Amino acid sequence: MPEEPQIRVLLDVTALTAYARLTGMGVAELIATVEEEGGAGLVGIPAACFMTAYWQLDADEQERLTAMVTRPDAVTVLLPLLGTDVLEAAQIGHVMGHAAIAARRTGAYLATYDADEARRHLPGSGVLELEDKF
């Protein structure tokens, strides 16, 4: 029986907006790296992060972000915000809350352009700092 794919990395609001605005090639490269695993890995998109990013984007950028998560062959997967986590996510904040909780829950790396904020909620070894944003 083949193993279930594991979430390898999560994208927070900063990573999602950079991807959609084409200012963060590191995000596309990260997704490509997971795709090369041949189905063994996934890129997690916390639903609250997706919504926050979506609201910040113009129409073309929204289409790009939507395509990232809806392609039939995509390695991205939307992660629900569970009722038991809503209060903690709200207390952490709309940019990092759901991402930090999902990273703790899955053990995946959190890819972000705001590593300092991520490290306030996660151990440094769980934060993948993206640095190519212009």
* d(C-alpha 3, C-alpha 19), whole Å: 29
Residue 28: predicted pLDDT:
93
pLDDT at 132: 77
Alpha helix locations (H) across 1-134? Answer: 13-20, 25-35, 47-56, 59-70, 86-92, 97-106, 115-119
Predicted local distance difference test score (pLDDT) of residue 26: 92
Look up residue 56 and give its amino acid.
Answer: Q
Sheet with strand 109-112: strands edge to edge: 76-79, 41-46, 6-11, 109-112, 127-129
- What per-residue confidence (pLDDT) applies to 95? 83
Domain residue spans of the chain: 6-129
What topology is assigned to 6-129 in CATH?
Rossmann fold (3.40.50)
pLDDT reported for residue 48: 96
pLDDT at 112: 97
Q: State the burial class of residue 72 (Cβ atoms within 10 Å of its Cβ: 0-12, 13-18, 19+).
A: exposed
Instruction: Report the chain (134 residues): mean pLDDT per 10 consecutive residues.
Output: 84 97 92 90 97 97 97 93 90 90 96 95 93 66
pLDDT reported for residue 3: 74
